Chain A
Amino acid sequence: MTGPDEPAALHATDLGFRYRARGTWALRECGFTVPRGRITALVGRNGAGKSTLLHLAGGLLRPAHGEIRVLGTAPDGAAARTRVALLTQDKPLYPRFTVADTLRMGGKLNAAWDRAVAERVVREGGIAPSVRVGELSPGRRTRVALALALGKRPELLLLDEPLADLDPVVRGEIMATLMAEAAEREVSIVLSSHVLPDLEQTCDWVTLLRAGRVELNEDADALREGHLLLTGHADEEPALREHTVVHRRVHGRQLTALVRPRGPVGGAFHVERPGLEEILLGHLQGAAGGAKGAAA
C-alpha cells in the first residue's frame, strides 16, 4: 500500500527473484513505486530483469523475497486478473484461430469486455477478421495481441517488449494506438523496450534496471532537468568532481560527460540539455571503469 492516496500502479518492497536453474538473482532488493496514470518505460540491458519484473507484476511468477503490489492488490488475486493486462513477449495466441475467433475468445474469457475497442484496434491495422493468426506478420500479430489486452479495458497494462521485431512504421502505429487509448481514459502503462528513441516522447516515467536492481525510478521530465551533457577539454576533468558523473568519455583531448549537477557547473564546458535517450543510454553504459558506485 502506498498510503492514504490512490494505490500506485506498481509498488515493490524489497522484491527479489531468482530462477532456480540459473541460481543467480534476476531481481534483488528492488523497492520502488510507479504512480498511477503514467506511461512508464521499463529499460535495462538484456538480463537486467525487465521481463522478470513484468512477469511478477502480471502474477505469472511469485517473488522469492519481498512483494510487489499492482493497483494496491496482489498480482495473482482475482481483482488483479480483471484490472491488469499483461502482454508477454511470446504473445500467446492460437495460430489456427482467425482474428475474429481470437476476439470472440477474448469476449468469453473476460467478464468486462469492450468489443468495440478490440475491433477498432484490429481494424486500424487493416487486418481482415477472417485471417488466421498464424498467417499474420509480426506487426499484425502484436496488434491482435494488443487488441485482446486493450479489450479487457485494463487499468494497468503491462507490455513486455511490444515493439521488438517491428519495423519503424509499425512501431509508430502501435505506439499511436496505445497513446490514443491513454488519451481517452486513464490507464497506466508499463512497457519494456530497447528502442530508446520510441520512448523519448511517449513515456513520462522511467524505471531503469541494472543487473537486477532499480537504478532509476523517476519522472521523465525530472530526469531531463536533472542531467547535463558537458563537452570540454580533458583538462577540465577535475571540475566534474563536484557532480555525479553518470557516464564520461575521453576522446583525444575532448571530454564528454553526462552528469547530475550538484550546484553550478564550473570549468569551461559547453553545456547542453540531453534528451531522454542520451540520459538512458548514459545510465545503461555507466561510468567508465565501472566506477559508478564511487561516483554516486
Chain B
Amino acid sequence: MEGDVVEYRIDRQSGIPAYVQIVRQTEQALRMGVLRVGDRLPTAKEVVAATAINPNTVFRAYRDMEQAGLVRSRRGLGTFVTRSLARPGAEDDSPLRAGLAEWVARARSAGLERDDVLALVTAALDEHDTQHERHERHERHENDPGDRERNQEDA
C-alpha cells in the first residue's frame, strides 16, 4: 500500500479555500498520473502536521472527493483513490494540446508576455462560462417568467 504519494501545499495568500486547494491538487495529481487507483491519501493528521491547516479542512476535502467518487475512505485504513482522472484530451500528444501550443507560439510572437497570455486565456474562459451560465439561466427564466432579474443589464 502506497501512502506517501502526494504532499499538499497550501497557499495562504491565494484566497482559495484550503479544502478547494486540496481537492484541486488531488485532481491534478490524478490527471498527471502521480496518483493512481489504489493509492492511499495521507491521513488528516499527516496533512495538518505538515501544513498547519485546520483538520476539518482536510476532512471536508476528502468528503467532497468521496462524494464525487474520486476516493473512498475505509475505516481504520485510510482514504484510497478509486478513480483515475487522466483525460484523453489533456495528454501531451493530444490535438487540443497541439492547437494550444500553436496558439501560444502566435501569442508570443505577437509580443504578449506570459501574464498577458494567462489573462487572455482566463478572460476567454470566463466569457465562455458566463455565456454558458446565462444561457442556462435564460432557459430557466422562460419556464418561470415571473422571476426576472436585472442581471442582463450588468454587462
Contact = CB atoms under 8 A, between A and B. Distances in A.
Contacts of A204: 54, 56-57
A224 B57 CA distance: 14
A39 B18 CA distance: 15
B58 A200 contact: no
B49 A176 contact: yes
Contacts of A39: 54, 56
B95 interface: no
Given A180-B45, A180-B48, A266-B150, A224 B53 contact: no
B55 A183 contact: yes
A266 B152 CA distance: 11
Interface string A170-209: 0011011101101110000000000001001111100000
Nearest to A173: B52
Contact of B12 (A177, A179, A200, A224): A200
A179 B150 contact: no
A183 B10 contact: no
B: contact size bracket: 20 to 34
B92 interface: no
B129 to A, nearest CB: 15
Interface string B56-72: 11100000000000000
Interface centre among A200, A204, A224, A264 (most CB of B within 10 A): A200
Contact of A179 (B17, B52, B151): B52
Contacts of B17: 221, 224
B15 A179 contact: no
B51 interface: yes
A129 interface: no
Contact of A274 (B15, B55, B56, B153): B15
A273 interface: yes
Contacts of A272: 15
B124 interface: no
B115 interface: no
Nearest to A189: B54
A275 interface: yes
Contact of A184 (B45, B50, B52): B45
A202 B54 contact: yes
Interface string A238-278: 00000000000000000000000000101000001111000
Contact of A201 (B44, B52, B151, B154): B52
A44 B44 CA distance: 30
Most buried by B among A183, A274, A275: A183
A179 B154 contact: no
Given A183-B45, A264-B149, A202 B52 contact: yes
Given A183-B55, A264-B150, A201 B18 contact: yes
Given A197-B12, A202-B54, A266-B150, A179 B18 contact: no
B58 A183 contact: yes
Q: Which 5 A-B pairs have the closest CB atoms?
A: A183-B55, A179-B48, A176-B52, A175-B52, A201-B53
Given A179-B53, A183-B48, 5 more contacts: A201-B57, A204-B54, A204-B56, A264-B150, A275-B15
Interface of A: 39, 172-173, 175-177, 179-180, 182-184, 197, 200-204, 221, 224, 264, 266, 272-275
